[in-house]
Amino acid sequence: MFLADLPTPALVVDTAALGHNLASMAAALPGARLRPHVKAHKCTKLAALQARHGHHGFTCATPREMVGLAAAGLGDDLLLANESLDPARLRRLAELDARVTIAVDSNETIEAAAKAGLRAVLIDVEVGLPRCGCAAEDAARLADLARRSGLQVRGVMGYEGHAVGLDDRQRRSDETGHAMQKLLAAHAEVGGEMISAGGTGTFDLNPWATEIQAGSYALMDTAYGRLGLPFLPALFVLATVVSASKTWTVADCGLKSLGMDHGNPRIEGSSIWFCSDEHTTFAADEGRAPPRVGDRIRVWPAHVDPTIAYHESLHLLDGERIVEVWPIDLRGW
Amino acid sequence: MFLADLPTPALVVDTAALGHNLASMAAALPGARLRPHVKAHKCTKLAALQARHGHHGFTCATPREMVGLAAAGLGDDLLLANESLDPARLRRLAELDARVTIAVDSNETIEAAAKAGLRAVLIDVEVGLPRCGCAAEDAARLADLARRSGLQVRGVMGYEGHAVGLDDRQRRSDETGHAMQKLLAAHAEVGGEMISAGGTGTFDLNPWATEIQAGSYALMDTAYGRLGLPFLPALFVLATVVSASKTWTVADCGLKSLGMDHGNPRIEGSSIWFCSDEHTTFAADEGRAPPRVGDRIRVWPAHVDPTIAYHESLHLLDGERIVEVWPIDLRGW
């Protein structure tokens, strides 16, 4: 199938850009130095490609991502970098034919993990982002509690999410350093071989972590695109112009095909007016010919993760040809 | 199953509030005066309930919604209130065992409809919202072209989307009036029995339209909740508190379970700090006890439509009991 024949809206992956991104990251953080976060793409086929680039451990945000990776034979070393108190889902994880480690940050999450029959945990430490993670001072106590509950404590994790998106590289680096000092202090008390942290924005600014949990680097988005990272935009929503007035143009993708928390998407040579459920209204920049009804355009999402979660498939583009269709099979919880 | 046993995050519908909303709307706009828009809920079971309240015509935003309603036996009078140029999808609509009408606003969309074997159209007129719809002055020409192309022209549609969300009722009414003057002028030239317009925010402010395309009224959201409409909030995301610090609390729902274009969701007695992929960080208001790890909370979405599109099921709540699970079966395109 050719790009011109694809029903729209559709998520399209530029295979050349994807290949560049995977190779660049594998060169910078080879093998187990990277634990790719699958929440960004939710696609076992893409995870399998990351494994072929040498990364055999994966980071997940949901139990369903863990279950799906294990079922796809990618269960060498799965980390649920998130807290869960769901007894049935935790039991399901304990029964997987996979090496499973989960994050804990409280008495309750440790108790739930032990009760479900899970074997290994990381102590999740808050390092500056107000989200999950225990206070660094509490990490040693929780590690003791976990060990007394029969759990192996493989180390610590702490996500510097307040740093990964900072425009200024020096500030990004400084904030990462501060965050990792907290994490290292906790690790000194907790022990274990793992110090798991980081993201696409800090992949080369975090030498303290033993492994980096980057996900967005594979497909990228316009928010990460501003940071000057060595990764290429590889994901766009293909849309069709369905209406045009003298002043504006309307494409058939909107709030239900684009994550909107980072703001509007981009269309080259245009300014976006607004998105509604199934439409994006935009206007061509001065001096540019506006696209016409029936034209195909590329709409670049601002945030890859919540964009992916709306779609059923990734369409892999090589030149003008769709060479493969990959199910986005890790959606939901 | 009880609410307390539901895996989270999960979309929950308060059946009492839903019943109130459907009955209130059916009293205000009985039978064919309302053409419920299914894009808001994407659920054939909910559409069937709207039909039992007397509304047998439906509005859709995507071909897949049309196909799904027809397959569910709800194809008495389906309107695709959107432009499409997709030959395969338009042919599929033409072959449905259903009465199908689609919106057109250009030579290209008329040609595509005629070529696909569709039989009936509405001329979509721009009435103030810069999105689809022809210029009012062009409506008569397009109606002629459609008729010459063998299509029945059933009338006009024009969505006053720039008015439906205005906080001030008088302004909402005035803007609707201006918009409908444009639409009536176009209708005078186009002819046909249908003048289709409106939404939840203008359902009782638009006596000019022969039918109102409201969808959000059934489940509501916090954006429409501000307008003082006679509809109750009927949809929330059930979430579990998975982490808590001294200062903030974290629930397990985020950007992948909430449409974010209208801003953050609400949690009673709390202020929201931010949402990330699978988390909402919030803090209890002063004087309120913060929820504890393991507690279940209700998170009220700001925008119903893009929230629904992330989920697989609606869980119907009666008291504390989940009495039915309805698939959200009209997602995608």
Rounded Cα gap, residues B223 and B1, in angstroms: 31
Establish whether the linkage from the previous residue to A9 is cis, with ω within 30° of 0: yes
Q: What is the pLDDT of residue B143?
A: 98
Partner-chain contact A276 B135, CB within 8 Å: no
Q: What is the pLDDT of residue B69?
A: 98
| For chain B, percent of residues with pLDDT exceeding 70 | 100
Window 102-141 of A: residues touching B by CB (8 A cutoff) are 105-106, 108-109, 126, 130-133, 135
Rounded Cα gap, residues B300 and B220, in angstroms: 10
A160 near A206, Cβ under 8 Å? yes
Q: Quick one: pLDDT band at residue B234, thresholds 50, 70, 90?
A: very high
Beta strands B270-276 and B279-284 are antiparallel
A208 contacts chain B (CB < 8 A): no
Q: What is the pLDDT of residue B288?
A: 94
Q: What is the pLDDT of residue B296?
A: 96
Q: Judge if pTM exceeds 0.80.
A: yes
- Mean pLDDT calculated for residue range B190-201: 98
- Mean pLDDT calculated for residue range B20-27: 98
Within 8 A of A133 by CB-CB distance, chain B residues are: 243
| For chain A, percent of residues with pLDDT exceeding 70 | 100
What architecture is domain B17-218? Alpha-Beta Barrel (3.20)
Q: Quick one: pLDDT band at residue B217, thresholds 50, 70, 90?
A: very high
Q: What is the pLDDT of residue B322?
A: 98
Partner-chain contact A260 B306, CB within 8 Å: yes
| Residue B191 in tokens | 């002819």
B301 near B265, Cβ under 8 Å? yes
Q: What is the pLDDT of residue B327?
A: 98
Q: What is the pLDDT of residue A72?
A: 98
- Mean pLDDT calculated for residue range A24-46: 98
- Mean pLDDT calculated for residue range A65-86: 98
Q: Is B233 helix (H, G, I), strand (E, B) or coil?
A: coil
Residue in this structure with the two tokens 């975090």, named with its chain if needed: A206
- Mean pLDDT calculated for residue range A31-48: 98
SS3 content of chain A, % helix, strand, coil (to 5): 30, 25, 40
- Cβ-nearest to A9 among B294, B309, B333: B333
Q: What is the pLDDT of residue A261?
A: 96
Report the residue of A62, A109, A255, A313 to disrupt the B interface, i.e. the one with the largest count of B CBs within 10 Å. Answer: A255
Rounded Cα gap, residues A60 and A40, in angstroms: 9
Q: What is the pLDDT of residue B257?
A: 98
Rounded Cα gap, residues A202 and A313, in angstroms: 29
Angstroms from A204 CA to nearest CA on chain B = 23
Q: What is the pLDDT of residue A95?
A: 98
A165 contacts chain B (CB < 8 A): no
The separation between the first and the last C-alpha atoms of chain A, rounded to the nearest angstrom, is 32
Rounded Cα gap, residues B199 and B216, in angstroms: 8
Angstroms from A306 CA to nearest CA on chain B = 5
Q: What is the pLDDT of residue A91?
A: 98
Angstroms from B103 CA to nearest CA on chain A = 11
CATH fold of A3-11+232-327: Lyase, Ornithine Decarboxylase; Chain A, domain 1 (2.40.37)
How do residues B47-98 score in pLDDT, each as one tens digit? 999 999 999 999 999 999 999 999 999 999 999 999 999 999 999 999 999 9
How do residues A263-315 score in pLDDT, each as one tens digit? 999 999 999 999 999 999 999 999 999 999 999 999 999 999 999 999 999 99
Q: What is the pLDDT of residue A260?
A: 96
CA A170 to chain centroid, in Å, comes to 23
Rounded Cα gap, residues B57 and B34, in angstroms: 8
What does the mean pLDDT of chain A come to? 98
How do residues A77-125 score in pLDDT, each as one tens digit? 999 999 999 999 999 999 999 999 999 999 999 999 999 999 999 999 9
Q: What is the ipTM of this complex?
A: 0.97
Q: Quick one: pLDDT band at residue B223, thresholds 50, 70, 90?
A: very high
Whether B17-218 and B3-11+232-327 are alike in CATH topology: the answer is no
Partner-chain contact A106 B244, CB within 8 Å: yes
Q: What is the pLDDT of residue A75?
A: 98
Q: What is the pLDDT of residue B7?
A: 98
Q: Is B90 helix (H, G, I), strand (E, B) or coil?
A: helix
Domain ranges of chain A: 3-11+232-327, 18-217
Phi first, then psi, for residue A68 (nearest 5°) are: -65, -40
Rounded Cα gap, residues B81 and B79, in angstroms: 6
* A18-217 is classed CATH 3.20.20.10: yes
What does the mean pLDDT of chain B come to? 98
Rounded Cα gap, residues A199 and A205, in angstroms: 10
How do residues B102-144 score in pLDDT, each as one tens digit? 999 999 999 999 999 999 999 999 999 999 999 999 999 999 9
Window 263-302 of B: residues touching A by CB (8 A cutoff) are 273, 275-279, 281, 293-294
Rounded Cα gap, residues B120 and B241, in angstroms: 51
Within 8 A of B256 by CB-CB distance, chain A residues are: 305-306, 309
Cβ atoms within 10 Å of A153's Cβ, excluding its own? 23
